[in-house]
């Protein structure tokens, strides 16, 4: 959390702020009081930053082989009781690096896409205003990629890195990026190295 606070105040030139332990404790106390914020620990065995939806071809390949593709539910934080009443230092002392703070999935979806609506009820309506409607093109695979892309912030993510993190082949990564471009949820910066 300290990294986010430092990053925020590094851009706020007009009002410099000393980011020390007492200030971070103050920010913690404000953040955990928000109704959409959750404090918990990462479930054992979770290795990814975000839930990666299975590649559609994996489902088809399993069906073609007569196998059943078992789809796991997205992992969620194991919530810590009374986390709102405890200090960050106390939680870190008990849970170490496993402690996490997150918003609920609905709030995260709205922040990432600009809308809380997951499916457009009228498929014939224009998709020009994403804050009102979301296209059905925003499949679980596309949303998984979007989460990873947004975690890259200003630095973004390369298609190769996206493929490595999602385990999607490069053809699928191209398709996913194309969907995000059509939805207006991202732009592409082409960089050539000489």
What pLDDT, on the 0 to 100 scale, is given for residue 66? 80
Higher pLDDT, 157 or 165: 165
- Measuring CA to CA, which residue among 110, 114, 117 is closest to residue 134? 117
- The residues spanned by each domain of the chain are 2-103, 107-183
Q: What is the mean pLDDT of residues 48-58?
A: 72
Q: What is the mean pLDDT of residues 163-168?
A: 89
Q: What is the mean pLDDT of the chain?
A: 77
Give 143-163 pLDDT, tens digit per residue: 888 888 888 777 778 888 888
What pLDDT, on the 0 to 100 scale, is given for residue 187? 63
Strand partners, 102: 38
Cα 9 from chain centre? 22
E strand spans, the chain: 37-41, 78-79, 99-103
Strand partners, 10: none
Give 1-21 pLDDT, tens digit per residue: 788 888 888 876 677 788 888
What pLDDT, on the 0 to 100 scale, is given for residue 7? 82
Q: What is the mean pLDDT of residues 158-186?
A: 86
Q: How far apart are the first and last CA of the chain?
A: 38
Residue 25 predicted with pLDDT over 80: yes
Give 90-141 pLDDT, tens digit per residue: 998 999 888 888 888 788 787 777 765 544 443 333 333 333 245 667 788 8
What pLDDT, on the 0 to 100 scale, is given for residue 132? 29
What pLDDT, on the 0 to 100 scale, is given for residue 31? 92
């Amino acid at each position: 959390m300290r990294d986010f606070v430092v990053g925020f105040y590094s851009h706020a030139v007009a009002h410099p702020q000393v980011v020390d332990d007492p200030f971070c404790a103050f920010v913690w106390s404000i953040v955990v009081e928000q109704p959409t914020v959750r404090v918990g620990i990462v479930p054992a065995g979770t290795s990814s930053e975000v839930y990666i939806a299975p590649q559609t071809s994996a489902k088809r390949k399993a069906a073609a082989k007569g196998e059943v593709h078992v789809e796991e539910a997205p992992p969620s934080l194991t919530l810590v009781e009374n986390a709102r009443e405890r200090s960050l230092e106390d939680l870190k002392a008990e849970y170490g690096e496993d402690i996490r703070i997150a918003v609920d999935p609905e709030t995260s979806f709205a922040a990432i896409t600009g809308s809380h609506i997951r499916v457009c009820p009228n498929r014939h309506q224009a998709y020009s205003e994403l804050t009102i409607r979301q296209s059905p093109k925003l499949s679980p695979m596309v949303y998984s990629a979007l989460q990873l892309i947004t975690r890259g912030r200003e630095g973004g993510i390369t298609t190769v890195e996206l493929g490595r993190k999602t385990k999607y082949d490069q053809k699928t990564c191209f398709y996913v990026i194309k969907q995000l471009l059509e939805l207006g949820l991202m732009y592409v910066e082409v960089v050539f190295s000489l």
